[in-house]
Homo-oligomer: A and B are copies of this chain.
Amino acid sequence: MDARRVSRQAARLLADTPAIAEAHFRAEAEPYDALSRPDGYLNLGTAENRLLWDLLEGRLAQLPPMTEATARYAPLHGTGVLRGRVAELLSATVGTPLDAEDLVVISGATGALDAIASVLCDPGEAIVVPAPYYGAFDTDLGGRSGARILPAPLDPADGFRLTASAVDRALRRAREEGVTVRAVALSSPSNPIGEVHRPEVLAELLRVVRAHDVDLIADEIYAHAVFGGEAFTSAADPAVNPDWAGRTHVVWGFAKDFGLPGLKTGVLHTRDPRVREAARALAYFAPVSTATQHTLAELLADREWVASFLAAGRLRLGASYGHLTGLLEAYGIPYAPAGAGFSVWLDLGRWLPAAGFEGEELLWRELFEKAKVSILPGGAFRSPRPGWFRLCHTVDAPLVAEAVRRIAVHLGLPPQTGPHDPTPSPAPRNGSRP
């Protein structure tokens, strides 16, 4: 029975090695606790923001219960109420009024990425993605659609900052090789790096996608998780995107900005009527529970609460980032500076026990097995250069401190100042340095 045949389209989804997922669940099953399990795992591998629950709990408890109307079938691309409230929220973020009719609510940002990729691509057609990138893009954009993901490698020398020229090169190479590219996709702000893309860079990127006549998929799920000096600019903002709005598709969700990943609620914004119609047809297969839509719509109903929640979230993120980078500097661990997101991109290249991505994988395993710290290797983000790791810092500060201490001990680094200090320190703003 084990040798049972499944379809080729399903087998494609089973090809990935589950090592990283396994690590996640092992780390979650035996978590560190200073008193009861001091040798437990520290899971800084998963991009969850655990700093927000106290802000959410009371508000969620106040919401009115579900009604008979909630329990009934509703439009499968999202209730009008939720789409209306999300449109209001994102209009401010995108910098232009969004029409609720152009929004499709769907099961997670994952579902939104799958939908837009499937609408734009047939199997074998391609999507170009600047690398390093959120590794699940391979599955989310390509797994069901059959699209090929072509990385556009960014330059390690400047900490993998996004450049339009890297995307342009990848698009040219694809054309030379006879590959039909339908879109460029990126996360903005970027995961894993936490870069907030500057308006000039986005404007240039849009000139490139326009010149190549391809669509742009902007995954802006971290749009409100911005804490640094650079304000967020949406790829759909008319200031950077005066003429490609119909070909720009924005993905967002409640997993990151609202710290509610379990609710798996994503949205796709697209202005093209036919793309929208097709995306709605795909949402039929992955709608969100009306009970959850009701909860989220009620959460958004109080604009003042939303504004203060998001502001408090940004402050906490900034403090958490500052605390982590203070520790990294104390130990002399280099990193790429971030202005958004839940993670920091560490450069452990000089400590690899062997060359190349094998060395990276080895160090990842050692950190997990010996130091019992779960962080993700750059290979999981299709990093163009081995030696980088993503560490998520959005957990209690003492856990971050303990993780950095263990990493430093493993790398043989003596502390240069008190490593156990859980007090947040201000974030550095100038480049990767030891």
Chain A interface (Cβ < 8 Å from any Cβ of B): 1-2, 4, 6-11, 13-14, 46, 48, 50, 53, 56-57, 60-61, 65-66, 68, 70-74, 76, 107-108, 110-111, 114, 118-123, 125, 139, 143-146, 182, 246, 259-265, 272-275, 277-278, 281-282, 284-292, 295
Task: Among B11, B65, B261, B291, point to the contact of A262 (Cβ < 8 A).
Answer: B291
B278, A13: Cβ atoms closer than 8 Å: yes
Cα distance A315–B289 in the bound complex, in angstroms: 28
CB closest residue in chain B, given A79: B262
A61, B65: Cβ atoms closer than 8 Å: yes
Residues of B near A66 (CB, < 8 A) are: 60
Cα distance A231–B259 in the bound complex, in angstroms: 47
A284, B139: Cβ atoms closer than 8 Å: yes
Q: How many copies of this chain are found per oligomer?
A: 2
Name 25 A/B residue pairs within 8 A (Cβ), A-sorted.
Answer: A2-B274, A4-B272, A4-B274, A6-B274, A7-B120, A7-B122, A7-B125, A7-B145, A7-B278, A9-B145, A10-B119, A10-B281, A10-B282, A13-B282, A46-B73, A48-B72, A57-B68, A60-B66, A71-B260, A107-B287, A110-B284, A143-B284, A143-B285, A144-B282, A289-B291
A118, B265: Cβ atoms closer than 8 Å: no
B263, A119: Cβ atoms closer than 8 Å: no
B286, A286: Cβ atoms closer than 8 Å: yes
Shortest Cβ distance from A70 into chain B, in angstroms?
Answer: 6
Residues of B near A71 (CB, < 8 A) are: 53, 56, 259-263
Residues of B near A284 (CB, < 8 A) are: 13, 110, 139, 143
Cα distance A111–B282 in the bound complex, in angstroms: 11
CB closest residue in chain B, given A65: B61
A114, B285: Cβ atoms closer than 8 Å: yes
Shortest Cβ distance from A371 into chain B, in angstroms?
Answer: 23
CB closest residue in chain B, given A54: B68
Shortest Cβ distance from A261 into chain B, in angstroms?
Answer: 5
Given contacts A285-B143, A286-B286, contact A6 B261 (CB under 8 A): no
CB closest residue in chain B, given A264: B287
CB closest residue in chain B, given A107: B286
Cα distance A263–B294 in the bound complex, in angstroms: 11
Cα distance A259–B262 in the bound complex, in angstroms: 24
Task: Among B46, B144, B262, point to the contact of A289 (Cβ < 8 A).
Answer: B262
Shortest Cβ distance from A285 into chain B, in angstroms?
Answer: 5
Residues of B near A292 (CB, < 8 A) are: 289, 291-292
Shortest Cβ distance from A134 into chain B, in angstroms?
Answer: 14
Residues of B near A119 (CB, < 8 A) are: 6-7, 10
A285, B288: Cβ atoms closer than 8 Å: no
A6, B61: Cβ atoms closer than 8 Å: no
Cα distance A201–B282 in the bound complex, in angstroms: 36
Task: Among B7, B123, B286, point to the contact of A118 (Cβ < 8 A).
Answer: B7
CB closest residue in chain B, given A295: B291
Residues of B near A272 (CB, < 8 A) are: 1, 4
Cα distance A48–B72 in the bound complex, in angstroms: 8
Cα distance A107–B260 in the bound complex, in angstroms: 18
Cα distance A355–B277 in the bound complex, in angstroms: 34
Given contacts A263-B71, A289-B292, contact A120 B6 (CB under 8 A): yes
Cα distance A111–B288 in the bound complex, in angstroms: 12
A68, B46: Cβ atoms closer than 8 Å: no
A9, B122: Cβ atoms closer than 8 Å: yes
B74, A118: Cβ atoms closer than 8 Å: no
Shortest Cβ distance from A385 into chain B, in angstroms?
Answer: 29
A290, B277: Cβ atoms closer than 8 Å: no
Cα distance A72–B395 in the bound complex, in angstroms: 13
Task: Among B262, B278, B285, B289, point to the contact of A265 (Cβ < 8 A).
Answer: B289
A281, B14: Cβ atoms closer than 8 Å: yes
B275, A6: Cβ atoms closer than 8 Å: yes
Residues of B near A48 (CB, < 8 A) are: 72-73
Residues of B near A265 (CB, < 8 A) are: 289
Given contacts A262-B74, A264-B288, A289-B289, contact A278 B122 (CB under 8 A): no
Shortest Cβ distance from A17 into chain B, in angstroms?
Answer: 13
